[in-house]
Amino acid sequence: MHRLASRIRTRRAGRSSRGQSLVEFALFLPIIMLLTLAALDFGRIYLGYINIQNMARIAANFAANHPDAWTPSGKAEDRTSYQNQILGDAAATNCRLPIVGGKEVAADPIFTDRNADGRYEIGDTAEVALTCTFSVITPVMSNIVGGSIPVSASAVFPVKSAMTGTEGGSGWGTPPVAAFTGNGVVAPSTVSGTAPFTVVFRDTSGGAPTSWTWTFPDDGTTSNLQDPLGHTFVNPGTFIVKMTATNAYGSSDTSQSITVVAADAVDFEGTPQAITPGQTVSFTDKSTAGGTAWAWSFGAGEGTSTLQNPTHKYNTSGSYTVTLTVTYPAGDKSLTRVNYITVSVANCTVPSFNGVRRNNAQAVWSAAGFTSTVGDYPGAPSGNYVINTQSVQSPLLYPCNGNIQVTRQP
């Protein structure tokens, strides 16, 4: 009996355990199915990404073999073949390309002009970048990541044939940007020198020009060299040198001002040029280099100097003509500037003695810069006086050495 009861209890326990397992399996089955679907969903999208990479490589290879298709004169059927190839691959991959004008469209290739010659040819590259959108079919996952996932891929292939057909300079390339230097100075900045002045011109244009035209107005000549080295300007003057750079797509030009001064040109500067008696003027030689001696004349009665950059003190009012003579190996050259220095009489303020005490009159008169008078009382006033300036008893400007009439106040 004891053994029979034990067997019955064992059978009942086994049936209970199997029932519990079935219940647990039923509870976890939806989760297992959801995870399985999610894995399948993302596996499908990953496989689509692999396919899009292949689509981009195939499209880039096509563009590299047909670069002329995207020029203004390119074949429309080649561009159509490019689109249809990508659209067909996208449909087979179950993804959607961007919608333009109500229909799916593949992006055109992007060509890179690596040598900057204004053309897309062998050595340049064609790049195709594609974006395709996949739908998410797993319900819970679509709530997390959205109903769709965009997947992108790109590929770059070297161009395998040169583009042709510029249509009179209106092709896909661009005209050059003309630029040059003169003696290392970038146009349009001015270059200056003494005749004969030699300037080395170098082309620095962008956009890969294939021909150049230089115009030199000093002698009316032209040049078609890329770098016309060593053009010499013989005569003094200012000349505008122009350069035109051209390629298959057009041309552009730029210019530079060349200033040429005469050899052995004498020039000088005095500072200041308007002074009062007793002031000093500094003279600076600004002549062209090469002088060996200098002779200055500072004006009538003002003396001379043989220094290159002298100073001179003017003590007497008046206007003075200054001359500089420079000795060069080829001879003396001179420059005269008439009435170049002006020495004006210093002005003083005529004082008013209204309200001034007698014993202060001397100090007031001296402080104004006067040392003598002409009239009733030579010398500084010793009492109350009226300054005879149109009966105006107020400070006015008069020369310090001028004759001021002072009379005793009644």
Host domain of residue 250: 180-259
**Average of pLDDT values for 87-113?**
82
Q: Are residues 369 and 252 in the same domain?
A: no
Same domain, 32 and 125: yes
Q: What is the pLDDT of residue 163?
A: 47
Give helix 76-93 / helix 2-65 axis angle, nearest 10°.
180
Look at residues 337, 330, 365, 334 and name the one whose alpha carbon lies nearest to residue 351. Answer: 365
Distance of CA 114 to the CA centre of its chain: 24
Strands (E), 88-147: 99-100, 103-104, 110-112, 125-135
250 and 192 together in one domain = yes
Better-scored residue on pLDDT, 404 or 66: 66
* 232: Cβ contacts below 8 Å, ≥ 6 apart: 196, 197, 198, 199
pLDDT of residue 1: 54
Do 319 and 339 contact (CB within 8 A), yes or no?
Answer: yes
- Statement to judge: residues 236 and 284 lie in one domain: no
Average pLDDT over residues 275-287: 92
Number of domains in the chain: 4
CA angle in degrees (0–180, nearest 5) for 11-15-20 = 145
6: in domain: no
What pLDDT is stored for residue 393 in this prediction? 37
Helices and strands, number each (H, E), in the chain:
4, 28
Inside any domain, residue 20: no
State yes or no: pLDDT of 316 exceeds 50.
Answer: yes
pTM exceeds 0.85 = no
126 & 77 share domain:
yes
Is 60 exceeded by the pLDDT of residue 410? Answer: no
Find the range with the poorest average confidence among 137-146, 160-169, 342-351, 364-373.
160-169
Residue 164 lies in a domain: no
Q: 371-397 pLDDT, tens per residue?
A: 555 444 445 554 444 454 433 334 445
Identify the band that residue 92 occupies on the pLDDT scale cut at 50, 70 and 90: confident
Same domain, residue pair 337 and 217: no
* 363 & 398 share domain: yes
Give burial (CB, 10 Å; 0-12/13-18/19+) of 180.
Answer: buried
E-strand stretches of 248-395: 250-261, 268-271, 274-275, 279-285, 293-297, 304-305, 311-314, 318-328, 331-343, 347-350, 374-375, 385-387
pLDDT of 153 strictly over 90: no
* 254, 237: one domain: yes
Least confident window among 157-161, 178-182, 283-287, 301-305 = 157-161
Q: Which of the residue ranges 153-162, 185-194, 237-246, 385-394 has the most confident prediction, judged by mean pLDDT?
A: 237-246
Instruction: Indicate if the pLDDT at residue 350 is higher than 80.
Output: no
> Of 321, 343, 365, which residue is a domain's last?
343
Pair 121, 79 in one domain? yes
207 and 123 inside one domain = no
Task: From 259, 278, 310, give the residue that closes a domain.
Answer: 259
Classify residue 175: in a domain, yes or no. no
CA atoms within 13 A on the CB side of 238: 5
